[in-house]
Structure 1
Amino acid sequence: METETTDNGTLETWTPQEVRDAFQRNEIVLIDVRTPQEYGFERIEGALLAPMQAFDPDHMPGQSDKHIVFHCGSGVRSEKVARLCLEHGFERVAHLGGGFGAWKDTGMAYTGTDVGSGAPKSMQKTATS
């Protein structure tokens, strides 16, 4: 995990492995800030959807029980949302570095769409080196 101390708090950038491990241990809430269309097509199973275009940090839950980690397609939108949360009083917040693309590139499982039927399908990309 990389950390950056900002004027408003601490921004954490997590690796896909760190996110997966913490998610499996039920230590984090993973929030997808992509569009509903992107989420509908493919997503990390169990991630919640809070699209960036309608995101309001004042309506986010606290982090007393679980840490919040944001993710998007590449890490750009999730970092913007994380910084916005810091500006709204969060002391620390995290996002997935490299986003969903990095998640898939490491070969981790996700839910995609079967192009033949349109049904959800468990998928896994062969990890790149």
Structure 2
Amino acid sequence: MSLRELDPKTVHDAVQAGSAVIIDVREPREFATERLHGASLHPLSTFDPQSIPVDKTRDVILQCGSGKRSMDALQRCEAAGVAITAHLKGGLMAWKAAGLPTVTIDPATGQVIDPK
């Protein structure tokens, strides 16, 4: 398997087109504060490659805050023989630097803000 590092725009476009899903490997507190729309949480601290829902019709793309943990999770998938081969290069930081939207919580009201 060839491990792929995808740029934020490529990931965004694939998710928007319905050809990819995002698995966030950060911890629950981080995920609750800010996340990518539609991402599923599978924290690296309890990460089990076998528990990731692999959908043969869509790419599964791993994501974290900076790309370090998602690469770790990607290597764990490869070692376990799980067919997940891509992650978001630069993670959430690169996503935000590219001007792409995130789901956040308004600290004043506790309301979820999801610009999609």
User: Which protein is richer in strand relative to its size?
Assistant: 1
Match of 1:75 among 57, 67, 72: 67
Contact 1:10 1:92 (8 Å CA) reproduced: no
Once the two structures are aligned, what percentage of the paired residues are identical? 36
Confirm or deny that 1:37 pairs with 2:29.
Answer: yes
Structural mapping, 1:41-120, within 5 Å: 41-91=33-83, 93-120=85-112
In structure 2, the gaps of 5 or more residues are none
TM superposition shift of 1:63: 4.0
Q: Is residue 2:2 matched to residue 1:10? A: yes
Structure (1 or 2) with the greater helix fraction: 2
Provide TM-score, normalisation by structure 1. 0.84
State the AA in 1 paired with 2:56.
S
SS in 2 for 1:109: coil
Give the letter aligned to residue 96 of structure 2.
K
Count residues with an aligned counterpart. 116
Q: Give the C-alpha shift of residue 41 in structure 1.
A: 0.6
Of 28-37 and 86-95, the range deviating more from structure 2: 86-95
Conserved 8 A contact 1:71-1:95:
yes
The one-letter amino acid paired with 2:62 is F
- DSSP-derived class of the 1:104 partner: helix
Q: Which one is further off, 70-79 or 92-101? A: 92-101
Over 3 Å off, 4+ runs: none
Unaligned 5+ residue runs, structure 1? Answer: 1-8, 125-129
Larger-gyration structure (1/2): 1
| Worse-superposed segment, 92-101 or 71-80 | 92-101
Letter in 1 for 2:29: Q
